[in-house]
Structure 1
């Protein structure tokens, strides 16, 4: 099985938070993805990397906060997260890594 290198450009990293752990109880996994990634691209990348069947992909864009860096105003980057719901019987263990 060959892994397309652009899958890693779409999927940045898994999100491991309390909310993401609660989502895993409903067979969903949360990933930080590229800001310009579309839902079909995300689905294809997850299925290609992990060898699972994806049921649905929901995305959300969190706007970056305005913060002060050394007295100057700066802005954190915008982050896009994908909530990937898997078909029954499929699992992804994000704690092991790729």
Structure 2
């Protein structure tokens, strides 16, 4: 079992993720080895909210180039966490 602070890497603050806050959906970058149960437990432990649903997806890295050098960004895993109606994670509200 993973530690809660190791599961959640950072919040994802994009236009789409911000619009989903009204529906009680919060988006995080998570450890690629984390399961939905690990993510649920981590969010409940850190933010003291009740998690209803966890949706995960793998985001493929993109090709980037600087001059003639071509590289690739890392693949990463994203989790969209739905919390119980009426509950909020205040951490996101200030962003």
TM-score with structure 2 length normalisation? 0.88
* Per-residue deviation, 1:95: 3.8
* Per-residue deviation, 1:70: 5.0
Q: 2:86 aligns with which of 40, 64, 89?
A: 89
Q: Which structure shows the bigger proportion of residues in helix conformation?
A: 2
Q: 2:30 aligns with which of 22, 26, 33?
A: 33
Structure 2: 5+ residue runs without aligned partners?
none
Runs of 4+ in structure 1 over 4 Å off: none
Cα pair 1:14 1:94 within 8 Å, conserved: no
Cα offsets for 1:37-56 (capped at 9, x unmatched): 11000000000001110000
Q: 1:80 aligns with which of 57, 77, 82?
A: 77
Q: 1:45 aligns with which of 42, 46, 50?
A: 42
Structure 1: 5+ residue runs without aligned partners?
none
Cα pair 1:47 1:53 within 8 Å, conserved: yes
* Per-residue deviation, 1:75: 0.9
RMSD: 1.8
